Chain A
Amino acid sequence: MTWLHLYARFLCAATLLLIAAGGMVTSTGSGLSVPDWPNSYGYFMFSFPLSSMVGGIFYEHGHRLIASSVGVLTIGMTVWLWRVDPRRWMRRLGVAALAAVILQGLLGGITVLYFLPTAVSVSHAGLAEIFFCLTVCLALFTSSGWRRSGTTGRHTPVTLHSTDLTAMALATGLPALVFAQILVGATMRHTGAGLAIPDFPLVFGGVVPNEWTFPIAVHYTHRLGAGMTALVIFATVRQIAIHHRDRPDLLRPAGLLTVLVLVQIGLGGWTVLSGRAPVINTAHVATGALVLGTSLLLALHVNRHRFPDAHPSMAYPPPPVAIPAKRGAAV
């Protein structure tokens, strides 16, 4: 199982690299530098000459090569899970990941063949994040720590604490909020609205735009969403830091989230101020994926007791305890 976990972590890292490579494709405007699909300038993908990987082709064809490799890795993951993992829901998760990566490849091809329509490109970006989340799940669920925590009932479900409904709600809702924020960002990116508001942290020298166009509205929504997401992350982290100091499985992702969200806001501002420099812009995309993945880790740990392989002692609400009837009492 250790090797499977290492493989899953490698798949997860490869997917993050793939997202970054996709970010470079968009940031450099190279999305249509290879006009055909699934071939590249008529070549079978893996036989395209390396010497021709110049200009935008380096990013677009490179993205395709990494994507194909991730696809092959995902097939391997699915087969491996199917053969060795006794958990049926886990095997199904592997199949879901495989389906997602196939659909993602098709979306990538469609967006090239139809000249990057916004809806398809945003869907491609959104599904990339969903697939990344699936790989995060695969890596987590194959880890010995996760399996141990489930079989021994080592952790008390957070909902048993007096204030845990707040932590539970915040941590569980956080990935959805981050994902929505990423979708707004992807819409901004694929409608060319990244510099619709050219200053940062102010907005046209103020707080609210004086005029409204679609690009300005999308861009402003992304900034407001960033503020809201950061507030929810800080509230979640505070809740966990105060009430769950004995839970390293929650404290670690919470601490990482704090760092990541600050870095992410900084990168967002830097992206604007640098005029969308490709490397900065791509770092913003990759860090966004990390924020999503980390918030998902936190949500999964908080909800550990809900999984089918959780120890009965982790069940919430606790199973009713049968109180033996007093001898002689009326029934």
Chain B
Amino acid sequence: MQQQNLWTVLSMLVLATAVACGGGGDAPAATTAPAAPAFDPSTAGNVSGMVMFDGELPAGEELMMNSDPVCAMTATDTMSSTFVGSDGHLGNVFVYVKEGLEGQSFPAATGSVELDQEGCRYTPHVMGIRVGQTLTITNSDMTLHNIHASPSANDEFNMGQPIQGMTFDRSFDQPEIMVPFKCDVHGWMNSYIGVLDHPYFAITGTDGMFDISTLPPGDYVLEAWHESLGTQTQNVTVATGQTAEVSFTFAQ
């Protein structure tokens, strides 16, 4: 009995020593703790820039919401979100680091991202999310919606939200540019979500501006995606403490 106790104590001592001195080389990381950044943030740089449209921006299409009286009555914005911007600037463009971050890991995203259905529109129209991050979808309307995501790399889903205030959570397992969302009840409602395994993305506002901050120094390929105009890529070099300027110009 005494010998058994001795082995138990010795085993615990060995285990405690391994934990204290190990540094966790091959041990799996705790799932609840955020992963350590793969680089020293003090060495980071930034990318900022602008997305332009060459020529006059196509006129916004007015959305016909007559098929649902609630939408027709409550909608405050009935213009399409496909082409937004002013003075040659293009909004609702998803800009992200496409290449250059391979093999690096980043802290898991905290908190959820929200997609709202309000005024029979998706808000926001274009957004980004991290792999595994919670997407909270809410119906703020007094009418019913279905939320139909049709990704190619992730699982397709189609859920109904018949009651105002309903929410549900989803997440995506794989990176994907872009996941289209639509409401089949209200054919004009659509939205796009970019799913990435890193946090380096931005969506342009109506001023066409975007900022991607705290990037590790290095050479990258940046891609700008627009739902109607397609994609453009550019190479960019990020240096410590510097902000690299990039601009994209789309045309029809």
Which residues, 1 to 56 on A, are CB-close (under 8 Å) to B?
A: 28-36, 41-42, 52, 54-56
B52 at interface, CB cutoff 8 A = no
**Residue on A with the closest CB to B184?**
A33
In Å, the complex CA distance between A32 and B146 comes to 8
Q: Decide if A310 is an interface residue (CB 8 Å cutoff).
A: no
Asked if B158 contacts A35 (CB within 8 A), the reply is yes
Say yes or no: B185 contacts A57, CB within 8 Å: yes
Please indicate which of the listed interface residues A55, A57, A60 has the most CB atoms of chain B within 10 Å of its own CB.
A55
- When chains A and B are docked, how far (Å) is the Cα of A116 from the Cα of B148? 12
Closest chain B CB from A232 CB (angstroms): 38
- Whole-angstrom CA separation of A33 from B160 in the bound complex: 8
Question: In the complex, are the beta carbons of A34 and B160 less than 8 A apart?
Answer: yes
Complex Cα spacing A32 to B145, Å: 11
- A42 CB → nearest B CB, Å: 7
Q: In the complex the two chains form, is A42's CB within 8 Å of B158's CB?
A: no
Instruction: Give the residues in chain B near A56, CB-CB below 8 Å.
Output: 67, 184-187
**Quick check: is B144 within 8 A (CB to CB) of the other chain?**
yes
B residues in contact with A28, CB < 8 Å: 187
Complex alpha-carbon distance, A35 and B156, angstroms: 12
A58: Cβ under 8 A from any B Cβ: yes
A31 to B67, CA, bound (A): 16
A41 to B158, CA, bound (A): 11
Q: Assuming A29-B184, A32-B158, is B148 touching A41 (CB within 8 A)?
A: no
Task: Write out, one digit per residue, whether chain B residues 202-230 have a CB within 8 A of any chain A CB (1) or not (0).
Answer: 00000000000000000000000000000
> In the complex the two chains form, is A55's CB within 8 Å of B67's CB?
yes
User: Are B187 and A29 interface neighbours, CB within 8 A?
Assistant: yes
- Known contacts: A32-B146, A33-B146, A34-B146. The answer to whether A55 contacts B160 by CB under 8 A is no
B130–chain A nearest beta-carbon distance, Å: 25
Task: Say whether B162 faces chain A, with CB atoms less than 8 Å apart.
Answer: yes
User: Quick check: B67 and A54 within 8 Å, CB to CB?
Assistant: yes
Which chain B positions have C-beta within 8 A of A32? 146, 148, 158, 184
Asked if A89 is at the interface of the complex by the 8 Å CB criterion, the answer is no
Bin the interface of chain A by size: 10 to 19
- Bound-state CA distance A55–B120 (Å) is 11
A115 CA to B150 CA in the complex, in Å? 9
Q: Which of A86-142 contact B (CB under 8 A)?
A: 115
Inter-chain contact A57/B187, CB cutoff 8 Å: no
Could you tell me if B187 and A54 are in contact, using CB atoms closer than 8 angstroms? no
Residues in B23-62 with C-beta less than 8 Å from chain A: none
- Is B9 positioned at the interface, with any CB of A under 8 Å from its CB? no
Q: A52 — which chain B residues lie within 8 A by C-beta?
A: 143-144, 162
Contacts of A42 in B (CB 8 A): 160, 162
Closest Cβ–Cβ distance, residue A148 to chain B (whole Å): 50
Q: Are B144 and A41 in contact (CB under 8 A)?
A: yes
Q: 1/0 contact trace for B151-187 toward A, CB 8 Å?
A: 0000010111010000000000000000000011111
Rounded to whole angstroms, the CA-CA distance of A245 and B156 in the bound complex is 59
Contact with A along B58-74 (1 / 0, CB 8 A): 00000000011111000
Asked if residues B160 and A36 are in contact (CB atoms below 8 Å), the reply is: yes
Contacts of B162 on A, CB cut-off 8 Å? 41-42, 52
Question: B156 to A115, Cβ gap below 8 A?
Answer: yes
Chain B residue with the shortest CB-CB distance to A41 = B162
Closest residue of chain B to A39 (Cβ to Cβ) is B160
Q: State the CA gap A36–B144 with chains docked (Å).
A: 13
- Residues on A with C-beta less than 8 A from B185 are 30, 33, 54-57
Task: Name the CB-closest residue of A to B150.
Answer: A115
**Which of these, B144, B159, B184, contacts A30 with CB under 8 Å?**
B184
A115 closest partner in B (C-beta) = B156
Q: 8 Å CB contacts to A: which residues of B63-112?
A: 67-71
Q: Who on chain A is nearest to B72 by CB?
A: A54
Instruction: Please measure, in the bound complex, the distance between the C-alpha atom of A32 and the C-alpha atom of B71, giving whole angstroms.
Output: 19
Taking a contact as CB atoms under 8 Å apart, the answer to whether A54 and B68 are in contact is yes
Q: In the complex, what distance in Å separates the CA atom of A42 from the CA atom of B163?
A: 11
B125 → A minimal CB distance (Å): 19
A31 to B146, CA, bound (A): 11
How distant is the Cα of A6 from the Cα of B160 in the complex, in angstroms?
41
Nearest-Cβ distance from residue B216 to partner chain A, whole angstroms: 39
Report chain B residues within 8 Å CB of A57.
144, 185
Q: Could you tell me the distance in whole angstroms from the C-beta of A110 to the nearest C-beta in chain B?
A: 14
Query: Which B residues lie within 8 Å of A33 (CB)?
Result: 146, 183-185
A52-B144, A56-B185 in contact; A35/B69 too (CB < 8 A)? no
Mark contacts of A51-70 with chain B using CB atoms, 8 A cut-off: 1 yes-contact digit, 0 otherwise.
01011111010000000000
Could you jot down 14 A-B contacts, CB within 8 Å?
A28-B187, A33-B184, A34-B160, A35-B158, A52-B143, A52-B144, A52-B162, A54-B68, A55-B185, A56-B185, A57-B144, A115-B148, A115-B150, A115-B158
User: A33-B184, A115-B158 given. 5 additional CB < 8 A pairs?
Assistant: A54-B69, A54-B71, A54-B143, A58-B67, A115-B148
Please provide the 6 A-B residue pairs with the shortest distance between their CB atoms, ordered closest to farther.
Answer: A33-B184, A54-B68, A55-B185, A41-B162, A35-B158, A55-B67
